[in-house]
Amino acid sequence: MSVLVIVAPGQGAQTPGFLKPWLEDPIFAARFEWLSTVAGVDLVHHGTVSDAETIRQTQIAQPLLVASGLVAALALFPHPADAFGRIGAVAGHSVGELAAAAGARVITAEQAMVLVRERGLAMAAAAERTPTGMTAILGGDREEVLATIERHGLTPANDNGPGQIVAAGTMEQLAALAEDAPAKARLTPLSVAGAFHTQHMAPAVDRMAELARSVSVHDPRTMVISNADGKVVHDGRDVLARIVGQISRPVRWDLCMETMRDLGVTGILEMPPAGVLTGIAKRNLKGVETFALKTPDQLDDARAFVERHGDPSPIDSTPTWRMVVSPIKGTWHLDEAAGAATVLETNATIGSVASLRDRTPVLAPHGGQVVEWLVEDGDLVSPGQPLLRLHPTGGAA
């Protein structure tokens, strides 16, 4: 069995002029113009002629990245509905989660661009309050690295797997870290405008949470792996809430990759500007084939990659059914009351999944009439495996 995961990179992946080859096609150019209009940012200009310092700015970098992923995905999958049966899961690193959510049809492309515009502006404003930054710590003993980060009052803002943790905090704290680096570790300051995914971004969370309340969402058409904890999320409201909260919380890409491993991923395709996440995957997911989609002349090869790895998704998403899926790999424990019920209330607990790390409650976010239990108590389940099929009823729809 093959499992394809499509990933979208986060801030820092952009490079000057990376959109030039894409914009040579008038169809691509028209789509970028449209998304530029929605975002209120001249993405065409910034993706072709702006220098590295300009596109480093949060309010420019973030819309640029999300738009690039969305337009490239539409080029790769001209008929998106046909793609959902081939994609095993999607995931985005930091702001890439908005591109992933739009790709899974949780939100529209236009909603993603409005949200990323406001996200970038809010995070830039938060970063101006206090001089902050981020430093990548490469190598070293993991426990020593984490202890050193804590000792200096910093936050492990990105955990990208063994040998790559990003520390974030004030410039004074980062300077102290540079003077007291963990043994056998190399420090690389990152070209970002602030301490993202830390408490310094709390004001941006407040702004985005206010906006998110007005956004209509749909349940994802394919599995979405969350940065918060690597769990599979199958409720559209939860997907958006996690994306908002993640602005001030660490990115656990290490746990996302752990879930990919549990899913049995065979191929990872990265949306442009690609290379960072496939590079991390090569180091941490041995034996998994990767494809970094950087330019449109790779599209035919990318489609062949999708054909090679894109087995049907386990999620059967049709308008008449609601599916509850497992968030993690582990042992399924059925809630006795839910097992005896014929109708479940909104957010009813239906059971839990116990893994080696923790025990995760599973809810029925929409509720509805029980049509079919797809697992039995004590079964081993995998991330995203369907557990229960529901029929929407009245207010549960």
- Which CB contacts under 8 angstroms, 24+ apart, belong to 392-397? 392/320, 392/322, 392/366, 392/368, 393/343, 393/367, 393/368, 393/369, 395/346, 395/367, 396/322, 396/344, 396/345, 396/346, 396/366, 396/367, 396/368, 397/366, 397/368
Contact 163, 136 (CB under 8 A): no
What per-residue confidence (pLDDT) applies to 192?
A: 81
Place of tokens 């990105």: 158
Q: Report the distance separating Cα 7 and Cα 97, nearest Å.
A: 9
Catalytic residues: 94, 197
What per-residue confidence (pLDDT) applies to 308?
A: 94
Q: For residue 393, which amino acid is it? A: T
Contact 124, 193 (CB under 8 A): yes
Contact 298, 75 (CB under 8 A): no
* Domains of the chain, CATH where assigned: 4-126+199-309 (3.40.366.10), 128-189 (3.30.70.250), 322-396 (2.40.50.100)
What per-residue confidence (pLDDT) applies to 162?
A: 86
What per-residue confidence (pLDDT) applies to 397?
A: 40
Q: Considering the entire predicted model, what is its pTM?
A: 0.88
10-residue averages of pLDDT along the chain (397 residues): 94 94 92 95 95 93 96 88 85 97 95 97 94 95 95 97 94 96 94 91 96 93 95 95 97 97 97 96 96 96 95 58 91 96 94 94 92 96 94 60
Alpha-carbon separation of residue 394 from 115, 310, 343, 391 (angstroms): 31, 36, 11, 10
Q: Report the distance separating Cα 46 and Cα 62, nearest Å.
A: 11
Structure tokens at 341: 């019920």
Q: Report the distance separating Cα 397 and Cα 395, nearest Å.
A: 5
